[in-house]
Structure 1
Amino acid sequence: MTYKPFQIGVRPDWLISDETTHDVSLREVLALLAAIDATGNIAGAGRECGLSYRHAWGILRKFEAHFGVPLMITRRRQGTQLSPFAQRLVWANRRIEARLMPMLESMASELQEELERLLSQNAEHVRLHASHGFAVEALLRHMQGRTPGLELRYRTAIEALASLERHECDLAGFQVPLGDFQAPILRRYSPWLDAGAYRLIHLAVRSTGLFVEAGNPKAIQGMADLARNDVRFVNRQIGSSTRYLVGLMLERLGISIAQVQGYETSEFTHMAIAAHIASGMADTGIGVETAARRFGLDFIPMVQERYFFAVHCDTLETPAVQSLLQIMRSDNYREEVRQQVGYDATETGMIQTLQEAFE
C-alpha cells in the first residue's frame, strides 16, 4: 500500500453531562456564540458557521435547556445579544484555546512525526524544542507537508537548551532582550551555551511589553505600577525567560515580588496572558505585542527581544537543517513573520557565532 500524506491536529473540546445526557460536545454552540459575538446577529453567525437561521436557533435553544439559562437576550431597538452567561462561555473558551493550543500543536507535531517515520521510507525530520512564539508557529505551518518534517515541542528556553546539550533535539529556541537585561539573561543561559560547539540562527526581533485593557483604564505606565494595590498582574509560568525578565525589572526598581498582586498567577503563552486580561481576570501582564493586538488590548513596550535557534556546528550542515534554513529565508515565510504586529524579520535566517551575536 502506498503511503498517503496526512496532517494530524488535536483540538480542545468541552463536554457537558446532566442526569439525562452524557458527554454532549459544546463545540458547535461555542463556535456559533463566537460568531454571533463577531457579527452581531444570528443570521450572519449562521452563515459564517454554515448553518441555516432555523438550525442556529435550534442549537441555541438546545443548550439553553441544558444550562437552564438564556444564551440570547432580545431588547427593543437593540436586536438580539449574547446573555452575560453566553459572553462568559465565549471568553472562557478563548482562554482555554489560548492556554492549550500551543501544547496541543506540540503534541500533534510529535505524533505526526512518530507516525510518518513508521509509514514512510524517508524518516528525515528536524527536531525543534523552543519557547512559544508567533514566528515559531508560522515556521511549523510552513514546514507542514514538507520533507524534512518539523517535530516541534514547546519548552522553556532553558529546557530547550538543556535538550540540545543532551542531543534530544536539533534546534533550541530562546530569546534574549536587547539592552541592559541582555547580560543577566545570557548568564542564565551560559551553562548550556558552549560558544565553540554552537551556532545561532536568527529567527526574529519582537517587541515585548505590558498588556492593558483597551483605553488603559488603570492608567498603567510601566513596571512600577505593578506595586499598586489596585493593579492585578498575571505572570508567565515558572522557569520561563519572560518570568525571569519580570523579576529582573522589578529588582531594578526595588520592588519585591510580594508587593505584586497576582505574581504567582501564571499562564503558559502570550495569547493566554492576553485572554486572561481581556476577560477581566487581571489588569496587566507581559508578553509579545502580537498577542495584545489580537485581543484588542493596548500595549506598553518595554524591551526588544531577539529570538534565536541554537544548533550544533555539525548539525548545521545537514540537509535537513539546510532545508529548514531555505524556508526561513524564503519571501513567503519572512513576509508572514513581518505581518505579525511587533515582529521584525530583517535578519531572519542569518547565522552567527555567539561572539558575533553578543559583542
Structure 2
Amino acid sequence: MQQIELSYLITPRRRVGRALIGNPLMALLQAVREHGSISAAARSLELSYRHVWGELKRWEQSFGHALVTGEKGRRAQLSEFGDKLLWAERQAQARLAPQIEALHADLERAFALAFDDRTHVLSLQASHDDALMLLRSHAAGSARLQLDIQFSGSVDAISALNQGRCTMAGFHTLESAAVGSHTQRTYQPLLKPGIHKLIGFARRTQGLIVAPGNPLALRSLADVARLQARYVNRSIGTGTRVLLDELLDAAGIDGDALDGYGRSEPSHGAVAHAVAAGQADAGLGLESAARAAGLGFVPLAHERYHLACLKSALAHPATEALLVLLRGAAWQHRLGTLAGYESAASGEVQSLSALLPWWQFKSKKKKGSAP
C-alpha cells in the first residue's frame, strides 16, 4: 500500500487556479490529459521533455503500473491506472477542501510572523514550569514575542544551551542550597563565569502533593519514609529530582527508604494526576499543580527559577523583548495570580554568583599561614 506524505511551498502569493494541495505527479498527469502529448505537457509546465519523461517512467516503476499509453508519434493518453489516480486525487480534494483551506490559513498565519520585523521568536529549553506556560501566552498577546519552549530536565536544558540548540535555558535551584551541596555539584560544571548570565524569573514553592485533606497527615519526607507512603518521583536530570535528593541528604534519608523512589513521572501535572488517580500517596511537585488538580499540598522548599543564556545573547532583539516583558507590572501581577509563585528579580540580569548562593566561596586561610 502506498503512503501519502504532505508538503507545502512558500510563494509570494497563492497562484489562482492551483489545487489546494499540489502534487507534481498529478500535475504531470493532468497536463498529459489536457495536451495529448508528453512534449506539449512539458511545455505547459515549463519543464523539459526529458524531465517529464523520466518522472513518468520513475513513477511507473515505483507503482508497477503504466501511467501513459500511446505509441510513438501518436496521441498520448492516460492509462486506466493514471485516470484512477487523478480521480482519487479530485475526490480527496473535494472532500477535504474545508480542512485544507483551514490548514492553508494556519500555515499562512504562522509564517506571517517570520516576515514581520516587529515580532521576535526566542527558543528556550526549560525544566517544566507552570509560570513559563503562562508567560508564553502573555508574551504572544502583549509583546509580539513568541516563546518556542521545549520542556526537558534542568540538566538537559542547560546542556542544550551549551550545545547551541537553544537561546535560553530554564532551571531551578533551592534558595538555601549550601556550598558542597547536591545542587552545586549538579549545576556548577554546566555554567561558566563570564560566558553565562542569569535572568531572574520567579520564586516558587515546591512540596508534597497529597490527596485532598492529606489523609495520611504527611508533613515531611521523613513521614513519607516512616509510613511507607506510596511515592512518585520525577525523572533523573530534572530539577525537582535534584531538589528531592538535596532534601533527602539534609534529612539524612536514603532514597531507597521511599516506596516508589524508582518510579518517575515526566511533569508536575503527571505527578498530580498519579496522586489524584489513587496510584500514589505523595510526590514532590509545584503548589500550582496541586491546586489545579484539587489536591492537598504540604510546602517543603522555596526555589528560584532562573533563565540562563550566553552573555552574547543579551544583545539579541528577542532577549531584549523578553527582559522588557519580565520587568513589566502587567506580567508581575499575572505571575502573582499563580498559586505558589511570586516575582523575584524578574527580568534582572545578574552574574552566577549573585543568584546562586553557593557559587562564590573561597577557602579561609589561617592567620600566619603562608600566602
TM-score (norm 2): 0.63
CA deviation profile, 1:222-244 (whole Å, cap 9, x unmatched) = 01022235410011112212112
2:190 is the alignment partner of 1:169: no
Secondary structure of 1:308's aligned partner: strand
Structure 2 runs not aligned, ≥5 long: 1-10, 15-105, 358-371
* In 2: Cα distance, 1:316 partner to 1:112 partner: 30
* In 2: Cα distance, 1:247 partner to 1:355 partner: 23
Q: 1:80 — aligned with what?
A: none
Contact 1:173 1:307 in 2 (8 A): yes
Alignment match of 1:270 (pick from 263, 268, 278): 268
Alignment match of 1:314 (pick from 312, 315, 322): 312
- Opposite residue 139 of structure 1, the aligned amino acid is L
2:243 is the alignment partner of 1:248: no
CA change 1:318–1:356 in 2 (3 A) is same
2:123 is the alignment partner of 1:127: yes
Q: 2:321 — aligned with what?
A: 323
2:114 is the alignment partner of 1:116: no
Size of the aligned set, in residue pairs, is 253
Q: 1:138 — aligned with what?
A: 134
Q: 1:280 — aligned with what?
A: 278
Alignment match of 1:193 (pick from 153, 166, 191): 191
2:330 is the alignment partner of 1:332: yes
* In 2: Cα distance, 1:149 partner to 1:199 partner: 21
* In 2: Cα distance, 1:343 partner to 1:275 partner: 21
Q: 2:256 — aligned with what?
A: 258
* In 2: Cα distance, 1:114 partner to 1:128 partner: 22
CA deviation profile, 1:240-263 (whole Å, cap 9, x unmatched) = 121122123223333322221111
* In 2: Cα distance, 1:141 partner to 1:245 partner: 28
Q: 1:35 — aligned with what?
A: none
Q: 2:207 — aligned with what?
A: 209
Which has the higher mean CA deviation after the structures are superposed, 111-120 or 212-221? 111-120
Secondary structure of 1:211's aligned partner: strand
* In 1: Cα distance, 2:144 partner to 2:12 partner: 17
Q: 2:294 — aligned with what?
A: 296
1:18-167 alignment to 2 at 5 Å?
Answer: 116=111, 120=115, 122=117, 124-144=120-140, 147-167=144-164
TM-score (norm 1): 0.64
Contact 2:182 2:245 in 1 (8 A): no
Contact 1:113 1:151 in 2 (8 A): no
Q: 1:351 — aligned with what?
A: 349
Contact 2:203 2:343 in 1 (8 A): yes
Residue 131 of structure 1: how far off its partner (Å)? 0.5
Secondary structure of 2:283's aligned partner: strand
- Opposite residue 340 of structure 1, the aligned amino acid is L
Residue 117 of structure 1: how far off its partner (Å)? 8.2
Which has the higher mean CA deviation after the structures are superposed, 117-126 or 309-318? 117-126
Residue 303 of structure 1: how far off its partner (Å)? 0.9
- Opposite residue 120 of structure 1, the aligned amino acid is F
CA change 1:223–1:285 in 2 (3 A) is same
Contact 1:235 1:265 in 2 (8 A): yes
CA change 1:293–1:3 in 2 (3 A) is farther
CA deviation profile, 1:109-158 (whole Å, cap 9, x unmatched) = xx989963896365852111110111111111123266442211111111
Task: Give % identity.
Answer: 34
Residue 204 of structure 1: how far off its partner (Å)? 0.1
- Opposite residue 178 of structure 1, the aligned amino acid is E
* In 1: Cα distance, 2:192 partner to 2:313 partner: 15
Q: 2:61 — aligned with what?
A: none
Residue 179 of structure 1: how far off its partner (Å)? 1.2
Residue 312 of structure 1: how far off its partner (Å)? 1.1
Residue 178 of structure 1: how far off its partner (Å)? 1.1
Structure 1 runs not aligned, ≥5 long: 5-110
Residue 174 of structure 1: how far off its partner (Å)? 0.6
Contact 1:135 1:203 in 2 (8 A): no
Residue 354 of structure 1: how far off its partner (Å)? 0.9
Secondary structure of 2:172's aligned partner: strand
- Opposite residue 156 of structure 1, the aligned amino acid is G
Contact 1:273 1:287 in 2 (8 A): yes
- Opposite residue 237 of structure 1, the aligned amino acid is S
Contact 2:182 2:242 in 1 (8 A): no
